[in-house]
Amino acid sequence: MYQYKYKTNPYQHQRDALNKGGLSKNYAYFMEMGTGKTKVVIDNVAYLYQQKEIKEVIVIAPNSVYRNWVQEISDHSPVTPYIWCWKVNKEKELIRAGKSNELIYILMNVEALSHKSGQRWLHQRLNLNGKVSMMVIDESTTIKSPVALRTKAICKLSTMVKYRRILTGSPVTKSPLDLYTQCAFLSKALLGFESYYTFRARYAVMQQIELGGRQILMPKYYTNLDELEMKLKTFSFRVTKDQCLDLPPKIYMFRDVHLNLEQKNIYETLRKKARAIIADDTVSFANKLVEILRLHQICNGFLKTDTGQLHVFKNNPKLKELLRILEEVDGKCIIWATYVHNIESIKQTLGDLYGKDSVVSIYGKDSVEDRKLAVASFQHNDRCRFLVGNPSTGGYGLTLTAARNVIYFSNSYNLEVRKQSEDRAHRIGQKNKVSYIDLIVPDSIEMMIISALKRKVKLSAQTLGEEAKKWL
């Protein structure tokens, strides 16, 4: 790769990643969020194009990410390509025209491949250009489910292209079994298993449990992980921020929040009910999850009843603790909350206290353009001190390095969302240490969520051959 001329100077780890994976037909860039894996792939594409190996690249990414590629390509590619975005109902939209017969980028959100129209269009495209194409899956855990129809469609389409790449900083978010379809997208030969079930039989010992009146198989424990780690190393490049970037430290803190009397009474009543329902084999799994969800809602200051009515607890202790923290800390703050009710309540409260222009939000109902404006205001407007959002919405594709504090008003069980949302602030461009503060109700469902996240972190580290970081 020494003959390749970079448009923007790489870090040494980016150069190493390209040197190791650049010429491979199938390769995984398991590079932690903030280490610049998108630039590596853009350089990989340009190099193969210059070598006349490819003429077209299809990038499949989450909805909140795929348009970020337009700016990244502009910043880093020494080749000026055509760039098309493909969306359901709109089909192709020309973003940038290059020279005739130049490299073509086609950007698709992964959701488009859930639809027959998206699958049909991509199949037709690959029939024409597949032999001179690369397919890239950005945030490849979006295809980790072996039973999802979308995953099956993408893996089948991948056999039509010459080169394949997957990108993610967290390939293992629940268990080592997450790896199978991500690697099968590249080639089933890489791990040496023709099916998910033979892969599972090698790396997991399963047990049958009864859940919601049904008998289901669940992993009891995992085995042969050293072998799996060695296989991964043959076709992947792994780097963490700690290994390659001189970033300021992360500081983790807990703040205990104690429920008020009304919350305590209702929580204890519903906890007893939840235990009885969970133990009842005739109750569906979905109904059991509803009971757990209600316990979590109470911890966060509200409750949705069976009739759909919203009961809001007066003087929400979590909101009061949040306001105390904001008085204590300096600089800009991100506040992540799981529920829309909390996001809207926090935004309203902060707007009343500090002024409407002090706070912006990003969550499900906001358009892509509104999110861009909110991020720009938070990053560059001195009057805007707070960003409130749902980590599932804001977890991908955003740079929020203006923040010096990240507060988790609430968490979910999703480790990937947690890590992605943390790294919005802690990435290239961050000059200050970042404080992460979790608001936790002791002896509640929230402690169980934190424990589950910690277990997943340890398992991910074990699978990738890393030492588990002290976290939370």
Domain positions in the chain? 12-194+229-244, 250-258+314-463
284 residue type, one letter = S
* Contact of 133 with 56, CB cutoff 8 Å: yes
The DSSP call for residue 132 is G
pLDDT (0 to 100) of residue 62:
85
100 has pLDDT over 60: no
Of 436, 466, 460, nearest to 141 by C-alpha is 460
pLDDT (0 to 100) of residue 288:
83
At 249-307, the pLDDT tens digits run 899 999 999 999 999 999 999 999 988 888 777 777 788 888 999 999 999 999 998 88
At 104, the pLDDT band (50, 70, 90 cuts) reads very high
SS3 267: helix
Of 235, 387, 363, 210, nearest to 288 by C-alpha is 210
* Contact of 302 with 310, CB cutoff 8 Å: yes
List CB contacts of 61: < 8 A, sequence separation 6 or more: 69, 107, 108, 109, 110, 137, 138, 139
At 242, the pLDDT band (50, 70, 90 cuts) reads confident
Q: The tokens 């250009």 sit on which residue?
A: 129
472 has pLDDT over 90: no
252 forms bridges with which residues in the sheet?
436
Q: Of 43-57, 211-225, 251-265, 303-317, where does mean pLDDT reach its minimum? A: 211-225
pLDDT (0 to 100) of residue 215:
76
Question: What is the rounded average pLDDT of the residues 437-442?
Answer: 96
pLDDT (0 to 100) of residue 396:
63
pLDDT (0 to 100) of residue 116:
92
Buried b (16+ CB within 10 A) or exposed e, 317-338: bbbebbeebbeeeeebbbbbbb
Strands 250-256 and 56-61, sheet pairing: unpaired
Buried b (16+ CB within 10 A) or exposed e, 130-139: bebbbbbbbb
Token couple for 15:
């150069």
164 forms bridges with which residues in the sheet?
26, 135
Round to whole Å and give the CA distance between 1 and 51: 11
pLDDT (0 to 100) of residue 260:
95
At 196, the pLDDT band (50, 70, 90 cuts) reads very high
Do 12-194+229-244 and 250-258+314-463 share a fold?
yes
Question: What is the rounded average pLDDT of the residues 419-425?
Answer: 90
Q: Residue 357: in which H helix or E strand, if any?
A: none
Let me know if 95 is exposed, middle or buried by CB neighbors in 10 A (0-12, 13-18, 19+): middle
* Alpha-helical segments (H) within 54-140: 68-76, 116-129
394 has pLDDT over 70: no
63 has pLDDT over 80: no
Considering 69-83, 171-185, 394-408, the range whose residues carry the highest mean pLDDT is 171-185
Of 59, 36, 21, 30, nearest to 172 by C-alpha is 30
Given CATH 3.40.1190.20, say whether it is the number of domain 250-258+314-463: no
SS3 297: helix
pLDDT (0 to 100) of residue 395:
56
pLDDT (0 to 100) of residue 99:
61
* Contact of 141 with 112, CB cutoff 8 Å: no
Q: The tokens 């902060």 sit on which residue?
A: 350
CATH class of residue range 12-194+229-244: alpha beta
Round to whole Å and give the CA distance between 230 and 105: 33
Q: What is the CA radius of gyration of the chain?
A: 23
